A and B are shown apart, each in its own frame.
Chain A
């Protein structure tokens, strides 16, 4: 059994409220840790075409899978759309999770029933760092 630990810290001077949490990634309904990971990969994009970076058949549906993504760039104007969809919708749909600007990251539970796709906002070189953790 592997041990995968993820820590988050959210500090803001909007208020004095800060958040610091640790989790050990575990199988759904179990105290056993997740055993598998794709590792952390890098993918370079040179067009605005949507790409499925996490495919639904990589994991069993409805488990405790988790996905990490980070826009490794530094631009606060360019971003990746991230969507739970076969093709990342650009805007105005409920399937689109959100925008990852330069340096932004996310860690979410992943249902595994639909692909996770990303679409760059520009055809200029952009790089996505990502990884999948699963049972």
Chain B
């Protein structure tokens, strides 16, 4: 069994915030560690428009499960940002230098995560940790 640990701390002296949290990422409804991971780097340009970074599984058994998604916008120009969506639904705008981490249930086959670069080319780093992935038939 693999062990994947996600740790966060958020601090702001001015706003009086100091928190730290850590969790071991587990398969759906269990304490068994996730064993599927994909990670990498890429680049998306404004001309690309919306690009699917992660496709949701078309297999019902893979949907509505425990999965986790990380994305970092590696652009350095502060005016460049990524619009992050789950299919047509905007999650938010990820500025240069920002990162995000969230669960991703793959609620249905259309629940892909897509990104759109705004104002300039954005390099990015991503990682996804999955409970299950059913291999598709060969074509």
- How many whole Å from A131's CB to the nearest CB in chain B? 7
Q: How far is the CA of A3 from the CA of B3 in the complex (A)?
A: 33
CB distance from B112 to the nearest CB of A (A): 8
The secondary-structure label for the interface of chain B is strand
Query: Using Cβ atoms and an 8 Å threshold, which residues of chain B touch A91?
Result: 63-64, 105, 107
A98 and B91 contacting across the interface, CB-CB below 8 Å? no
B15 touches A98 (CB 8 A): no
* A residues in contact with B107, CB < 8 Å: 89, 91-96
State the majority secondary structure of interface residues on A: strand
Contact between B2 and A68, CB atoms less than 8 A apart:
no
> Are B35 and A14 neighbours in the complex by a CB distance under 8 Å?
yes
Q: Are B17 and A21 in contact (CB under 8 A)?
A: no
A-B contact pairs, 21 of them (CB 8 A): A3-B14, A8-B101, A10-B5, A10-B70, A21-B72, A26-B97, A26-B98, A28-B93, A31-B78, A40-B17, A64-B95, A93-B108, A94-B107, A94-B111, A96-B111, A97-B86, A101-B26, A101-B29, A105-B6, A107-B99, A110-B91
B residues with CB within 8 A of A: 2-17, 19, 21-26, 28-31, 34-37, 39, 63-64, 66-68, 70, 72, 78-79, 81, 84, 86-95, 97-105, 107-108, 110-111, 119, 125, 127, 129
Closest 5 pairs between A and B when the two form their complex, measured CB to CB: A109-B92, A98-B103, A12-B4, A103-B23, A94-B87
